[in-house]
Amino acid sequence: MTFDRTIRIAPSILSADFAAFGAECEAIEAQGADWVHVDVMDGHFVPNLTFGPAMVKAIRPHVKTVMDVHLMIAPADPYLQAFAEAGADILTVHAEAGPHLHRSLQAVRGLGCKAGVALNPATPADAIDYVLDDIDLICVMTVNPGFGGQSFIASQVAKVRRLRAMVGDRPVHIEIDGGVTPETAPRVVAAGADVLVAGSGVFKGGSVANPGVYGDNIRAIRRAAEAARSA
Ligand code: DX5
Ligand code: ZN
């Protein structure tokens, strides 16, 4: 992975057909996805369950771009090695998931993955003031984690702006997760975001049998986001 601030669209397979993850990953990549976002939920840190490292490992051969694994689990530390071995390129842990965030981030990098930290909507930007040199990505939750298809929480735009200033010249991506649409994307990009996760916004209306819709949805988000850059 090379670093730059080109807009990247990362469809979340939380909104894909769970019986066809391999084909779904291939379809979104063929339709222009830059990364594939994989949501791991434990029914404890968040009120929903998805899947574990075995499923991530099964998906891996179908992802040619970047596998962006978002761990909504607590504790995360006991499972980091398994997700790294499953083939995650980026492993993101939540700042709220345990008392030793710095240790978790060190462990992720030690396992050879890029380290991400996710912030729930109520968590202030300052929570990661002292780990900015230990991360490769900040995931700003613009919904409460757990489910796809929720509405964008507008108060997070100011947080994105603040994080962008805190990051400065560091090679740290600012990723937005939740409620991303062609309407909300320009607002977060103008504030400094460069990676846009979109679940329902990409998968709605399409399918493996009808993947052109995924492409239309990805292009609509990208176009709106890039317009905000050049504005
Ligand atoms: C929410 C997940 C998101 C989710 C986004 O807990 O982390 O990645 O899939 O879904 P949308 O884009 O539908 O809000
Ligand atoms: Zn996510």
Digit-coded pLDDT (tens) for 178-205? 999 999 999 999 999 999 999 999 999 9
Residue to probe by mutation, ligand 1, list 9, 12, 42, 221, most atoms within 8 Å of CB = 12
* Domain that includes residue 178, residue range: 17-230
Please check the confidence at residue 25 and state whether its pLDDT lies above 90. yes
* Residue 7 included in any domain: no
With beta carbons less than 8 A apart as the criterion, state whether 37 and 59 touch: no
Q: Is 39 a catalytic residue?
A: yes
With beta carbons less than 8 A apart as the criterion, state whether 118 and 143 touch: no
* Residue 86 included in any domain: yes
Indicate the number of domains in the chain.
1
Q: What is the CATH number of the domain that holds 137?
A: 3.20.20.70
- Residue of 1, 5, 2 lying closest to 175 (CA atoms): 5
Mean pLDDT of 163-187: 98
Binding residues for substrate: 12, 70, 146-149, 177-179, 199-200
Distance separating alpha carbons of residues 107 and 48, to the nearest angstrom: 26
The confidence score (pLDDT) of residue 101 equals 98
With beta carbons less than 8 A apart as the criterion, state whether 201 and 149 touch: no
Ligand 1 in reach of 12 Cβ (< 6 A)? yes
Q: What is the mean pLDDT of the chain?
A: 98
Residues contacting residue 194 through CB under 8 Å, at least 6 positions apart: 5, 6, 7, 8, 173, 174, 175
What's 12's DSSP letter? B
What are the beta bridge partners of residue 196?
9, 176
Percent of the chain with pLDDT over 90: 98
Say how many Å lie between the first and final Cα of the chain, rounded: 28
Ligand 1 in reach of 199 Cβ (< 6 A)? yes
How many CB atoms are located within 10 Å of the residue 87 CB?
A: 17
* Residue 167 included in any domain: yes
* R_g of the chain computed on alpha carbons: 16
pTM, two decimal places: 0.98
- Choosing from 34, 136, 177, 194, the catalytic residue is 177
Binding residues for a divalent metal cation: 37, 39, 70, 177
Q: What is the pLDDT of residues 79-92, one digit of tens each?
A: 999 999 999 999 99
Helix or strand or coil: residue 54? Answer: helix
Which ligand has the nearest atom to the CA of 151?
A: 1
In total, the chain counts a number of residues equal to: 231
* Residue 5 included in any domain: no
Q: How confident is the model at residue 155 (pLDDT cuts 50, 70, 90)?
A: very high
* Residue 162 included in any domain: yes
* Residue 52 included in any domain: yes
CA 150 to ligand 1 center in whole angstroms:
8
Please check the confidence at residue 231 and state whether its pLDDT lies above 90. no
Please check the confidence at residue 162 and state whether its pLDDT lies above 90. yes
* Residue 11 included in any domain: no
Q: What is the pLDDT of residues 95-151, one digit of tens each?
A: 999 999 999 999 999 999 999 999 999 999 999 999 999 999 999 999 999 999 999
The confidence score (pLDDT) of residue 15 equals 98
Please check the confidence at residue 230 and state whether its pLDDT lies above 90. no
- Residue of 196, 160, 228 lying closest to 7 (CA atoms): 196
Helix or strand or coil: residue 38? Answer: strand
The confidence score (pLDDT) of residue 136 equals 98
* Residue 139 included in any domain: yes
Strands 195-198 and 173-177: parallel
Residue 57, token pair as written in the block: 């490992």
- Residue of 174, 212, 208 lying closest to 190 (CA atoms): 174
Please check the confidence at residue 35 and state whether its pLDDT lies above 90. yes
Stronger pLDDT, 231 or 10, i.e. the higher one: 10
The confidence score (pLDDT) of residue 1 equals 85
Query: Residue type at 128?
Result: I
